[in-house]
Structure formats: C-alpha cells, structure tokens
C-alpha cells in the first residue's frame, strides 16, 4: 500500500515549518537590527569623513575672510562694506553669541562645534584671536550638494541587500540543518506507522473471521469465556486500526456524503461493541428515534465508534451506557470515571489521555472533533468525576 504522508505527520511537519518560520523571523529581525546599527555607524563615519574633507577648504576660506575683516577693521569707518565672497556666506558674532553682521542662510548657529552639517548647510566656526570689529566668532557657511549622501544611500541599498540575502540564506541553511534530524525521525515514524497499520490488517481480519466461524455449541464454558476475551481484545484493536487507517488515508480519499440512517447505524455499532461491553458487564440502554444526517458514512461511523469505545473503556464494571437519538441530536452517556472539569477543554487534543491504565493512543476523540468541526456538528461535554460523562451532538 503506497500512501502519502499522514495527517499526524503533516501536522508535525507543519509545526516544523512554523518553528522554522519563527526562527527565521527572529533571525531576520536580529540581522535587520544589526544591519541598521551598522548602517547608522557607516553613515555617521562617512558624514565625519565628508566634514573632514571640507574642513581644510573652509579653514582656508575662514583665513581669507579674517584678513578681509582685519582690513575692514583698520579702515573703519571709511570702509563700511562687509566683505563678501561668491564661494561662501559668512557672519560675525561677539563673545556673547550676538550677531554683529551676517549673510548666513541658516541662523541657528551651534558655537560648541567647529564644523557641522545642519539643514543642508555646512558651518565652520572659527574663534578669532583678535576681536576685529568686535567679533569673537567667524562663521563660514556653504551649501551641501549632498552628492556624498546619494553615494552613501546607494552603497547602503546595494551592499545592504546583498548582505541581507547572504545572511538570510545562511539562516535558512542553518535552520534546515538543525531541523533535519527531527524531520528524518518524523518521516521514519510515518513510514513505520503506515507499514505497521498495513501489516495489522491481515492478521486482525483473520482473527475476527475465525472467531465468528467457531462453533460455540461444542465448546466448554471455560473456553467460551476465553474466546470472548479474544474477541473483545480483537475488536478493541480493530477500532484502533480503523482510527489509524482513517488518519493515514484521510487526506487522500475522496469522501462522498450521503443520507445516513442513524438509528440503523447505531443499532449496528451497539451490536458490534456488545462483546466489549459484555466483558466488563456493561449494559446498553438505548432510546432511538428515527433520525437522518447527510454525511459520509465512514466518518460518522468513526464518530459513533470512538464515543461508544471510550464509554466502554472508561466505564465502571457493571456500569451502563445510555444512547439517546432524537432528530438532530445524539446523546451518549456513561456511568464511568468521569473527567476532571479543568481537563474537559483539552479532551479533544490529540494524544490526550486521562487514564494511563487504559489502552489507546489518545487519537479517537481528536478524530471525533475534526469530523464534527468539518460538518458543523456542535459537541457538548458534561462530566463529573466518579459519576460519568454525557456527550451531546447536535446538527
């Protein structure tokens, strides 16, 4: 039998993908944060380099302007025109930072820095040793052409994207490398479940068929009891086999819905499980009205089988199972050990078991929930410890 990955495996692989996505998201955020920090550092460094390159030129301009101020100072007031230069703008301020004369475009001067960039203008602040015209500070201003800024942005975008892609590729490689052992284990487990399930079919069918063929009339009572135990155990394994088969083949089969006579189906399943119930001296109490539902018969059979099987498995010896069928409603009630209230919300989780002394893998109720959700069947659970459980289905 060749089948694709089971739903269990697909679920685990989806969890693997989610873990991979979470790791990559965290990794990308960390890489992005690191690259932003490096980008800001690179930008600041390049800005300082640009200012350092302008420092020599502006210092030369300041020297030339100082000479002109000195000339104006000596020939004032005969010479009253402030010296200008087409290459830059300038201004002079006294020791209290009050403007004496200014041609500056940017008026807010930072006197604590000797050179800085602000609002598209580069300012060079020169402190005068001799107060020409009462000036303590000479400010040289030039407009920033921003070519250096365009060059930086271009480098950041190009090298940033290349670096980002390299880091993401490394992250994906490392994530897959770390997850590979788990993925291999999951695939090995998947193949094992498929092969084991397939191999169970033939001996299980043989056991059940031979039990039905045995003549009880010629058997001793002691042997009849032994045969009933074998029959009960074989039917328990049969329910588990059908659950495993359903999970493995669920995504590959095209199910067809039909009008199902629930009364007839429940009577058939009660007769099937009577052997299991009889082994624990559990009695069935049924009140079945005529009721139909449009659903796939195999799926609703899985629902009924798992609910009855659990009612038997977790029931008390000499207990009872009450099954009530009304139009659009099915109730299965037992006199079993019950479920703690705090665990009821988790009872449909896969692999959840409430009594380790009982067999099974905890997949039956998960199948029930998946099917009822698929067909918009509401499921309500009422349970009290040591008194029993009541499960109601409504559609």
Contact 66, 103 (CB under 8 A): no
Which 3 state secondary structure label does DSSP give 258? strand
The average pLDDT across 234-239 equals 74
Contact 345, 365 (CB under 8 A): no
Confidence (pLDDT) at 25: 85
Residues 267-280: tens digit of each pLDDT: 988 988 888 888 88
Q: How far apart are the first and last CA of the chain?
A: 36
- Please count the other Cβ atoms lying within 10 Å of the Cβ belonging to residue 88: 21
Residues 127-174: tens digit of each pLDDT: 998 888 889 999 999 999 888 888 888 988 898 899 889 988 888 888
Largest CA distance in the chain: 145
Q: What is the DSSP string of 313-334?
A: HTSPTT-EEEEEEETTEEEEEE
The residues, any chain, with a CB within 8 Å of residue 257's CB and separated by 6 or more, are 294, 295, 296
pTM to 2 decimals? 0.50
The average pLDDT across 302-316 equals 89
Buried b (16+ CB within 10 A) or exposed e, 304-320: bbbbbbbbbbbbbeebb
Residues 103-136: tens digit of each pLDDT: 999 888 999 999 999 989 999 999 998 888 889 9
Mean pLDDT rounded to a whole number for the chain? 83
User: For residue 57, what are the CA distances in angstroms to 78, 106, 116, 149?
Assistant: 31, 19, 14, 19
């Amino acid at each position: 039998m060749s089948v694709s990955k089971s739903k269990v495996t697909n679920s685990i692989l989806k969890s693997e993908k989610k873990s991979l996505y979470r790791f990559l998201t965290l990794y990308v955020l960390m890489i992005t944060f690191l690259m932003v920090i490096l980008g800001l550092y690179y930008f600041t460094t390049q800005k300082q380099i640009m200012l350092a390159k302008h420092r020599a030129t502006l210092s030369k301009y300041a020297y030339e302007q100082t000479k002109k101020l000195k000339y104006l100072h000596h020939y004032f007031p005969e010479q009253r025109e402030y010296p200008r230069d087409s290459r830059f703008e300038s201004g002079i301020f006294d020791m209290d930072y009050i403007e004496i004369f200014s041609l500056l475009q940017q008026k807010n001067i930072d006197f604590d820095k000797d050179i800085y960039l602000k609002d598209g203008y580069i300012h060079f602040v020169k402190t005068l040793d001799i107060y020409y015209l009462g000036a303590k500070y000479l400010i040289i201003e030039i407009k920033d052409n921003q070519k250096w800024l365009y060059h930086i942005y271009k480098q950041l975008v190009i090298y940033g994207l290349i670096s980002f892609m390299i880091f993401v590729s490394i992250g994906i490689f490392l994530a897959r490398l770390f997850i590979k052992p788990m993925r291999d284990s999951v695939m090995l487990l998947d193949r094992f479940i498929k092969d084991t399930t397939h191999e169970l079919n033939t001996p299980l069918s043989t056991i059940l068929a031979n039990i039905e063929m045995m003549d009880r009339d010629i058997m001793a009572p002691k042997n009849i009891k032994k045969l009933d135990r074998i029959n009960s155990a074989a039917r328990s394994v049969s329910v588990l086999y059908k659950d495993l088969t359903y999970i493995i083949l669920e995504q590959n089969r095209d199910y067809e819905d039909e009008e199902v006579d629930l009364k007839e189906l429940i009577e058939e399943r009660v007769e099937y499980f009577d052997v299991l119930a009889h082994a624990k001296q559990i009695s069935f109490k049924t009140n079945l009205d005529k009721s139909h539902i449009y659903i796939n018969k195999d799926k609703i059979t899985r629902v009924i089988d798992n609910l009855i099987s659990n009612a038997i498995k977790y029931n008390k010896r000499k207990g009872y199972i009450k099954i009530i069928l009304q139009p659009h409603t099915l109730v299965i009630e037992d006199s079993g050990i019950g479920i703690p209230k705090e665990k009821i919300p988790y009872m449909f989780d896969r692999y959840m078991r409430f009594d380790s002394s009982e067999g099974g893998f905890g997949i039956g109720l998960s199948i029930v929930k998946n099917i009822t959700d698929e067909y918009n069947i509401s499921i309500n659970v009422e349970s009290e410890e040591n008194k029993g459980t009541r499960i109601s289905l409504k559609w």
